[in-house]
Structure 1
Amino acid sequence: MTTSLDAPDRGRALPAGPRPSVPARPRPSLNGIAVWLFLTGLLAASIWSTIDLRINVASILDSVSNAADFLSRMFPLDFPPAGELALLLAETLAIVVLATALAVALSIPVALAAASLTGRGRGRRGTARSVIVLCRAVPDLVLAILFFRLFGLGALPGILAMGLHSVGMIGKLYADAIEELDRGPVDAAQAAGATRRQVVFATVIPALMPQLIATALHRFDINLRTSVLLGYVGVGGIGLAIADALRTLNYQRGMALALVVLILCIATELLSGAVRRALMRGSGTPRAGRSRSQDSRGGGSRRDPREVGITPPWTADRIRRFLSIGAVVVILAASVAGADLSADRFWAGIVDLPRTAGLFWPPSTGDILPELLGQLLVTVQIALSATLLGAVIAVPVGVLAARNVVPNPAVHTSARVFIVFVRGIPELIIAIVFVVITGLGAVAGTLALAIGAVGLLSKLVADSLEETDVRVQEALRAGGATRVQVFFSATIRQAAPSFVAHVMYLLDTNIRSATLLGVVGAGGIGFYLLNASRVVQFDVVTTIILLILGVVLAVEALSVWVRSSVR
């Protein structure tokens, strides 16, 4: 009788006694089955959306002649004079700097209230978390429309809109970072009699400082791209100049300014990435907080909590921190001057707030509810199709960019450079180009978001692959497995939950972005939102905002459920 034993064991008698039992694979839970059924349905909906929107090779090939015509009208590029360009860049950077600074200033207390380590009471933590979710859910374009009505045209509405919307991202990341901190220093400071404020400033903030700066730089990069979009609704700077040029079909000037924005975004991405890496390498700097906690536990002399504020000596590290703080203060002061803010206009808008709010309430459909619902569906279809198309391209690019998967430096470096380049292009610029080439409608919005998705998702995929446990891969490799076998058996298996989470995050982001790209005619409900605000139908604006908010919150809730289930 033949057996299925491996070659070394053939002919060898099996030991007497019961055979060792192989642990059974755990049965899938109902929640796990529901998640995978949902993901299957989501894939089917994405494929249907791509077909229904007529995103195919034939429709793209039909636009080749339009693309050639656009290129002929775009060149030669017409750059403004150096002085004018410098003023546009200075105004844009001032707006972005102030918006990011406002977001950080608001996010820190909100994050402290939202984290269980520093928050007081479940009710306050829940309220803080609700504020974070609401800020993320309301698109900055919607906030800009409201603030334009309050404060008029200029930089102030853009600063407030981007600043408040950024709280949704920055506040969440700060709160999550606080939750992951070691409780030891906090408990030690509290045991020594320190007040809550002393605990926060002596233990939490120093340990959180690298994360605070890195997240602020990342959000600055995002706000720089957003400022181009808000130029279409009246925010000053280079975004407004691009909008004016393209509205008059001056493609030579518009695309020249778009190239300047691309270079600026790529430079900002590279600079912020370098600073973040340097900060993370030095993230172990808050040794003072740990030594104080050890002293308070009894390892040394017990210090009075009032001594937390004793001035440290002027070391080289302290001088660098002092100079850095001074540079930040100078940049903020220059930004305030460059943005040309008016305190009188701000207070006049605050005083007029009740009357302005009355224009937006009660909401009204304007007798176009079926059209609004139809365009809302188109917005969701654009997001689904763009996520699918972006994922198809982004996954192989991300694999090539992962150093532990592709050890060839030329390959993974080229892939990383490609990702940085694609991430540097604002999606609005891509959407404008596709609107000119393919015409108004959902095709332009879908293709623009798909390209933007490649930049975001491929980076997340590469980072997830590089964060996998290398020991498992080395064990398989030591057992004789080929590189391909190691990749599919170990690397992909470990990174799969992160892939799912990243795709859901991308879908969540694309829902908001699809709404915004409607401003330039790239399909969806955003076009109706801008038109309603232009003809002063603010009650219809409220209805559209509520529809968008409902979809965004629903998608975010589903994303949270899926991400928590696939961990």
Structure 2
Amino acid sequence: MSQAMRPAPEAQPPVRVPARISSWPRPTRTAAVLLAAGLLFAAVWAFVDLRINVGTVADSAANATDFLSRTLPLDFPDAGELAILSGQTLAVVVCATLLSVLVSIPVAVLAARNTTPRGSAWLGARALIVVARAVPDVVLAIMFFRVFGLGALAGVLAMGLHSVGMVGKMYADAIEQIDEGPRTAVRAGGAGKLQELVSGVLPQVLPSFTANALHRFDINLRISVVLGFVGVDGLGFAIASAFRQLNYPRAMALALVVLVLCVVAELISGAIRSALLPSAGRGIRRGRRQRSVTRAGRIWAGTLTPAPRAGVASRARPTPGVSPPWDARRWRRSTYAAMTVAVVLASVWGTGIPPSQFFDGLGDVPETLGLFWPPDSGGIMPTLLADLWITVKIALAATLIGAVLALPVGACAARNVAPSPGVARTFRTAIVLIRGLPELVLAIVFVVITGLGPVAGALALGVGAVGLLGKLVADSLEEVDPGVELALRATGASRVQVFCSATLPQAAPAFVGHVLYQLDVNIRAATLLGIVGAGGIGFHLLNASRVLEFGVVTTITGLVFVTVMLVELLALWLRRVVS
């Protein structure tokens, strides 16, 4: 065949090489490797030191059988009582999530480098986000109960303000990643600061804002179980009461209801995200307009304007906006939006929080804060430090368990790695079910099976970590560059060889970042598991609040805060080096 007759070779996508640790100076690389090795060694040592092994689990088999015999059959409350408990929980969770979104938006604007008015505002907003993440929601709930009394208000405030730590950070990151073109165009038209944010920034970050709010709702639904142990009404409080009475059939039945609610919330959130948010790479059916700012045009204040040619100043005004047709997709998006508004209004009404309760309690804030200051060790500082170290060991061992289990689970849930779509769907479903299990309920179950102590806490957090880490691993594997996989597969490599040589090396930096994030989460969670006897400093936290030793509560909170900040700073530095 002549040269002219030969078919042109197919254009291969460019190979995207991920940033690696080798791009940093040698001392930084050495320090990062030593830190990662030290964390791995500490996790293995904690796993061994806590005596978590097959023998421990095997010795608890009889206790597990006894627990099942005392749990089955499950004892569900009647339909009316169950509806009331579920309604109370959902109302508090929705209102808390709404509060976190409303507070996080202005905080994120100040915390984003491209929208903050000055450096001091950026520093203050970032500090507020860090403090909100580090202070346990249980501590906030204890304080708000003291200020506003029993009821849903304390739960909404505690959960909502604690959520600002995550939601505010995600919102700020989304604002920093926007395309500055629309914002510059709005500013060039003479718009003020507020108009610039509403027209140039908000349309771009709205999809991310919605997705993060829905994700936080899922998390808050599980957190509501924890707050039930300190007096917040709903399913969590009913579960706590049942466990205190050793009524395992009722407690596990209510825990199953929480699991079902979490799974349903996950499915509904996914449906809302797919309906309200544009999908990556999807064009508008008529006209094939892209969903975001592209080289061919810019979306500005709801209209599509052509991008200026190179070297030509842009003086064209935006063309009149064209309303999209009311097709099935638009009707579905509008329906979900209307349902969301209706659910929010119903939740605000369902909490039954009178506005006077909030304003009446504000006058007691100075007196309540005075109870928490100055910090006091209560004469048990050595015990607190020892239990804090146990909390860290629980978090390390749990992270190791979660990482070891999440890698194969996440690989089987990734569509580009799983042997078939059915396998991927099955493992995705398993991940959703595991994520729906509240860690506190898992801790109670393991406490009953393995006995009081840190082993129960480590096993509970380890199983719970599979839900989050498994999802993150699956997403990271699906997001790798397929060009590298195709190139290796074209040489005749097997599926295992492609995974080990192309897929896994690309996803490895992201996996390291996910593990470090899970360690951060586990330290906070391990603090709370001590409430139910799963070891660590959490027991002293709840006990000090019950006997009104609020100075001890402040001391414990400060110790946890310092530990979390130290781990977060180390993890942040290591993530920057390896990603």
Summarize deviations over 1:470-501 as a string: whole Å, max 9, x none.
00111111123222222111111111100100
**Contact 2:24/2:577 (<8 A) preserved:** no
Match of 2:405 in 1: 393
Match of 2:574 in 1: 562
Summarize deviations over 1:429-450 as a string: whole Å, max 9, x none.
1111111111111111110000
CA distance in 1 between counterparts of 2:63 and 2:491 reads 56
Summarize deviations over 1:387-411 as a string: whole Å, max 9, x none.
0011111111111111112241222
CA distance in 2 between counterparts of 1:290 and 1:120 reads 26
Matched, 1:253 2:250: yes
One-letter amino acid of the structure 2 residue matched with residue 155 of structure 1? A
CA distance in 2 between counterparts of 1:326 and 1:49 reads 50
Match of 1:383 in 2: 395
CA distance in 1 between counterparts of 2:333 and 2:196 reads 21
Match of 1:302 in 2: 317
Match of 1:412 in 2: 424
Question: How far apart are residue 193 of structure 1 and its match?
Answer: 0.8
Match of 2:326 in 1: 316
Question: How far apart are residue 319 of structure 1 and its match?
Answer: 7.6
* Number of aligned residues: 538
Question: How far apart are residue 142 of structure 1 and its match?
Answer: 1.4
**Equivalent position SS for 2:102:** helix
**Equivalent position SS for 1:365:** coil
Matched, 1:177 2:174: yes
Match of 2:49 in 1: 52
Which residue among 251, 273, 283 is the counterpart of 1:276? 273
1:203–1:479 Cα change, 3 Å: same
**Where does 1:458-477 land on structure 2 (aligned, <5 Å)?**
458-477=470-489
CA distance in 2 between counterparts of 1:214 and 1:201 reads 19
Question: How far apart are residue 518 of structure 1 and its match?
Answer: 1.0
**Normalised TM-score (structure 1):** 0.91
Question: How far apart are residue 290 of structure 1 and its match?
Answer: 7.2
Match of 2:557 in 1: 545
**Contact 1:295/1:301 (<8 A) preserved:** no
Match of 1:241 in 2: 238
Summarize deviations over 1:353-404 as a string: whole Å, max 9, x none.
1111111111110000000000000000000000001111111111111111
**Where does 1:322-361 land on structure 2 (aligned, <5 Å)?**
326-361=338-373
Question: How far apart are residue 243 of structure 1 and its match?
Answer: 0.5
Match of 2:385 in 1: 373
Match of 1:202 in 2: 199
**Contact 1:294/1:300 (<8 A) preserved:** no
One-letter amino acid of the structure 2 residue matched with residue 353 of structure 1? V
**Contact 1:156/1:341 (<8 A) preserved:** yes
Matched, 1:492 2:504: yes
CA distance in 2 between counterparts of 1:468 and 1:323 reads 35
Match of 2:469 in 1: 457
**Where does 1:67-78 land on structure 2 (aligned, <5 Å)?**
67-78=64-75
Question: How far apart are residue 316 of structure 1 and its match?
Answer: 3.3
One-letter amino acid of the structure 2 residue matched with residue 362 of structure 1? P
Summarize deviations over 1:245-292 as a string: whole Å, max 9, x none.
110001111111111111111111122123223444347546453746
**Equivalent position SS for 2:150:** coil
Question: How far apart are residue 324 of structure 1 and its match?
Answer: 5.2
1:498–1:233 Cα change, 3 Å: same
CA distance in 1 between counterparts of 2:84 and 2:321 reads 42
Q: Percent same amino acid among aligned pairs? A: 57
Question: How far apart are residue 322 of structure 1 and its match?
Answer: 6.4
CA distance in 1 between counterparts of 2:334 and 2:73 reads 47
1:417–1:323 Cα change, 3 Å: closer
**Contact 1:383/1:514 (<8 A) preserved:** yes
One-letter amino acid of the structure 2 residue matched with residue 536 of structure 1? L
**Contact 2:304/2:321 (<8 A) preserved:** no
CA distance in 1 between counterparts of 2:332 and 2:462 reads 42
One-letter amino acid of the structure 2 residue matched with residue 276 of structure 1? R
Question: How far apart are residue 191 of structure 1 and its match?
Answer: 1.2
Which residue among 58, 61, 74 is the counterpart of 1:61? 58
CA distance in 2 between counterparts of 1:117 and 1:289 reads 19
Which residue among 101, 109, 114 is the counterpart of 1:112? 109
Match of 2:15 in 1: none
Which residue among 186, 189, 199 is the counterpart of 2:186? 189
Match of 1:3 in 2: none
Which residue among 160, 164, 168 is the counterpart of 1:163? 160
Question: How far apart are residue 57 of structure 1 and its match?
Answer: 1.3
One-letter amino acid of the structure 1 residue matched with residue 476 of structure 2? S
Question: How far apart are residue 228 of structure 1 and its match?
Answer: 0.7
Structure 1 gap ranges (5+) = 1-24
Match of 1:146 in 2: 143
**Contact 1:137/1:553 (<8 A) preserved:** yes
Match of 1:10 in 2: none
**Contact 2:110/2:117 (<8 A) preserved:** yes
Summarize deviations over 1:151-193 as a string: whole Å, max 9, x none.
1121111111110111111111111111111100101111111
**Contact 1:184/1:293 (<8 A) preserved:** no
Match of 1:263 in 2: 260
Match of 1:7 in 2: none
CA distance in 2 between counterparts of 1:529 and 1:26 reads 44
Question: How far apart are residue 330 of structure 1 and its match?
Answer: 2.7
CA distance in 2 between counterparts of 1:279 and 1:46 reads 42
1:291–1:443 Cα change, 3 Å: same
User: Which one has the bigger helix percentage?
Assistant: 1
Matched, 1:101 2:98: yes
Q: Point out the more displaced range, 51-60 or 355-364.
A: 51-60
CA distance in 1 between counterparts of 2:428 and 2:323 reads 42
Summarize deviations over 1:192-219 as a string: whole Å, max 9, x none.
1111111111121111111111111000
**Normalised TM-score (structure 2):** 0.89
CA distance in 2 between counterparts of 1:480 and 1:60 reads 43
CA distance in 1 between counterparts of 2:143 and 2:376 reads 16
CA distance in 2 between counterparts of 1:270 and 1:326 reads 18
**Equivalent position SS for 1:425:** coil
CA distance in 1 between counterparts of 2:338 and 2:499 reads 48
**Equivalent position SS for 2:361:** helix
CA distance in 2 between counterparts of 1:292 and 1:131 reads 37
Question: How far apart are residue 343 of structure 1 and its match?
Answer: 2.4
Match of 1:126 in 2: 123
Structure 2 gap ranges (5+) = 1-21, 281-289, 293-298
Match of 1:13 in 2: none
CA distance in 1 between counterparts of 2:396 and 2:307 reads 55
1:374–1:333 Cα change, 3 Å: same
CA distance in 1 between counterparts of 2:444 and 2:491 reads 53
CA distance in 2 between counterparts of 1:424 and 1:182 reads 36
Q: Point out the more displaced range, 397-406 or 221-230.
A: 397-406
CA distance in 2 between counterparts of 1:351 and 1:311 reads 50
**Equivalent position SS for 2:353:** coil
One-letter amino acid of the structure 2 residue matched with residue 533 of structure 1? S
Q: Point out the more displaced range, 496-505 or 323-332.
A: 323-332
RMSD, matched Cα: 2.2
Matched, 1:434 2:449: no
Match of 1:220 in 2: 217
One-letter amino acid of the structure 2 residue matched with residue 302 of structure 1? R
1:497–1:26 Cα change, 3 Å: closer
1:313–1:26 Cα change, 3 Å: closer
